[in-house]
Amino acid sequence: MQVIDASALRHLAMGAAVLSAGGGSFPYLELLSAEEMLQSHPPVPLIPAMQLPDDARVALVAMVGAPLALSERLVDAEHFARPVAVLAEYLGVSFDAVMGYEIGSMNSLIPAMVAMRVGLPLVDADTLGRSFPEIQMSAFAIAGLEMTPMVASDIRDNDVILSTAASGRWIENLLRPLATTCGSILAVCGCHSGRQIKLHAHLGSYSRAIRIGAAILDAQAHRADPVASLFSRERGSVLARGKVLDVMRNTTDGFVRGQVQIEIGAGSTVRVHFQNEYTLVEIGQRLLAMVPDLITILDSERGEPLGTEALRYGQHVVLARMPALERHLTPHALAAVGPRAFGYDFDYEAAP
């Protein structure tokens, strides 16, 4: 059985930072917290979703808010385990496993820490396959699954139980202002069955993140090219290499929004737009990549992914694209995660 031990944690953290698509850099502080927990807790079993009984009760957990806000404090496993206990009491059940809503940066390590804290295995799956900024972009919301009841807890021991909601969009509409009120950091927990997870979740997402992280860290250890190593194991391509010229960013409505300009030579610049995650790459009037493509910006020397909060003037970077998951390219999914879902007035077009 695969386990999340100290080595797997490091690989997971790096790979999940790539899959965060800019919604977070390498989650160093979260990794330190998780490694400290391993000193007093056994490694977490990582179980394939297909091994879950249909009637298994799985606690799905995540941080909802702005990634930048989480850099102001260490992750507290007690905080993120709190809504799990509150939801179990509300439903009058016990949980069989823990799963993450999102395989991105800190939201990959938080479920592992919660699993350690509550003594349950971690399911090798998530509901997004990467990072997206809004709840209705989850595969469960796209499939029309009931996602409530859901519990949201802040760091001050305030717990809010959302007993019913008309849709994933309404969960987003209700939780986002709550997250803003609570300092842009909420711990959330929902409950889904083994059958729902096997039918609708993105399976193998933790294994994929570990594989991606191993490609980068192994290359660093052997003084090889981390970007080349990454794309020897994952589909994708480099769009441009250059230097960060300018970053405009604001935290509004619980999101980090803005754009970064990258000089790529001969006076040309690339603009990358973001809403927590990178959403669009353009040079002049030409679009190079767009959601649901996975857009990532990597440090040119070490190959480490740079989240929107880590971008600074003068950084030498590699701008890369990984193709969208097939499940994100159906008409129904594109309505939730395609360009129009982010306010752009055009439809998705795959890069050549």
Q: What is the torsion angle, in degrees rounded to the nearest 10, for the CA atoms of residue 72, residue 150, residue 139 and residue 132?
A: -20
**pLDDT at position 327 over 70:** yes
Q: What is the pTM of this model?
A: 0.94
Contact 95, 83 (CB under 8 A): no
Contact 202, 294 (CB under 8 A): no
Q: What is the mean pLDDT of residues 76-103?
A: 97
Cβ neighbour number for residue 250 with a 10 Å cutoff: 9
Q: What is the mean pLDDT of residues 118-142?
A: 96
- pLDDT classification of 139: cutoffs 50, 70, 90: very high
**pLDDT at position 315 over 70:** yes
Cis peptide bond upstream of 292, omega within 30: yes
Domains in the chain, start-ordered, CATH in brackets?
3-205 (3.40.1610.10), 236-342 (2.40.390.10)
Contact 261, 267 (CB under 8 A): no
Angle at which helix 106-118 crosses helix 6-19, to 10 degrees, equals: 140
**pLDDT at position 67 over 70:** no
**pLDDT at position 128 over 70:** yes
- pLDDT tens sequence across 178-197: 988 888 789 999 999 999 99
- pLDDT classification of 236: cutoffs 50, 70, 90: very high
3 state SS of 126 = strand
pLDDT of residue 93: 97
- pLDDT classification of 251: cutoffs 50, 70, 90: confident
pLDDT of residue 66: 63
The β-bridge relationship of strands 44-47 and 57-65 is unpaired
Q: What is the mean pLDDT of residues 249-258?
A: 78
Query: Could you tell me how far CA 159 lies from the centroid of its own chain?
Result: 23
Q: What is the mean pLDDT of residues 313-337?
A: 96
pLDDT of residue 5: 96
pLDDT of residue 284: 85
Signed CA dihedral, 163, 165, 170, 172: sign only: positive
List the one residue out of 302, 248, 238 whose CA is nearest residue 271: 248
**pLDDT at position 296 over 70:** yes
The β-bridge relationship of strands 268-275 and 255-265 is antiparallel
- pLDDT classification of 265: cutoffs 50, 70, 90: confident
**pLDDT at position 152 over 70:** yes
Q: What is the mean pLDDT of residues 34-56?
A: 97
**pLDDT at position 69 over 60:** no
Q: What is the mean pLDDT of residues 313-323?
A: 96
List the one residue out of 43, 109, 94, 106 whose CA is nearest residue 70: 106
List the one residue out of 341, 333, 272, 299 whose CA is nearest residue 133: 341
Mean pLDDT for all residues in the chain: 93
Would you state the structure tokens that stand for residue 237, as one six-digit string?
């391509």
List the one residue out of 82, 107, 165, 172 whose CA is nearest residue 136: 172
